Amino acid sequence: MSLLLLLSFFFDLVANVDGATTRRLLPTASILPKVQPPAAAPDPSSFMVKCIADLKHVTAKIDHSYTDVQMLDALGHECDFNHEMPLVFEDGFKTTMSCRHFAKELTKARWEYLEKGSDKGYVTVCKNYWQSAHAKPFLPKVHRPPGPTQLQWWWALLIFLSGVFAVYLVNRNNVKSSRRAAEAYADATARILRSGRGWS
């Protein structure tokens, strides 16, 4: 099975998550191909599950024909085929640059999967493909926890006021002792003046 068939198989599967068939056919009876209306975007969550499974399947198939080192070159050649023969080969990308970009991302995701066993690279490729194909950001329907509330500001204010009160309590004792010292000094001065002895 050639690499082109695998890639077209992948993009057909991704495009057909919702069950609609949107394969691009070569013109037979007329000179121009028939224009097909754009298919509705599938549900993002089901798209991700299907996309990741298909990417793993395609990269495993590529791995049987090529080494992991040759994977980027093989995908790059498929991008070139689409550029050189657009009516014969269809890779599903709008430009050759975007095809090469996704080839690099897919290769990186494959290496990450082999080294760490992580699907994060495949998730990134699928999210970026979603944005490229549907021209809108990937926003799965997920219940998000509520954001921060103003109650956090009340806690910050309460902590700040508690600190100010603690500083006041510490300095209040110092003020009392300073006041006592000033009163003692005033009393001593008054006694000296009453006794009639001067400062000399």
Please report the DSSP string for 73-117 in residue order. HHHHHHHHHHHH-TTT---S-SSHHHHHHHHHHHHHHHHHHHHH-
> Are 16 and 106 found together in one domain?
yes
In a domain, 200, yes or no: yes
Res 199: pLDDT: 55
Global pTM exceeds 0.95 = no
Mark whether 43 and 73 lie in a shared domain.
yes
Mark which of 111, 134, 157 sits at the end of a domain: 134
Query: Do 75 and 161 have their domain in common?
Result: no
User: What is the distance between the alpha carbons of residues 28 and 104, in angstroms, rounded to a whole number?
Assistant: 35
Whether 71 contacts 61, CB under 8 Å? no
Tokens 């695998």 locate to 6
89 CB contacts (<8 Å, ≥6 apart)? 4, 78, 81, 82
- pLDDT tens string, the chain, 200 residues long: the values are 455 444 554 455 445 544 554 444 444 445 555 666 666 667 777 888 898 999 888 888 888 888 878 888 888 888 888 778 877 767 677 778 888 888 899 999 988 988 998 889 999 888 888 787 776 655 555 566 766 665 676 677 778 888 888 877 777 766 667 777 778 777 877 777 777 665 55
Domain that holds residue 48: 3-134
The answer to whether residue 103 is domain-embedded is: yes
Buried b / exposed e over 29-55, threshold 16 CB at 10 Å, is eeeeeeeeeeeeebebeebbebbbebb
Which pLDDT score is estimated for 150? 57
- How many distinct structural domains can be found in the chain? 2
- Terminal Cα-to-Cα distance of the chain (whole angstroms): 117
Quick one: 98 and 59 in the same domain?
yes
Query: pLDDT by residue (tens digit) across 117-153?
Result: 888 999 988 888 878 777 665 555 556 676 666 567 6
In this structure, the answer to whether residues 88 and 152 fall within a common structural domain is no
Q: Are 121 and 110 in contact (CB under 8 A)?
A: yes
Q: What six digits make up the tokens of 95? A: 């430009």
Answer with the one of 82, 107, 134 that is the final residue of a domain. Answer: 134
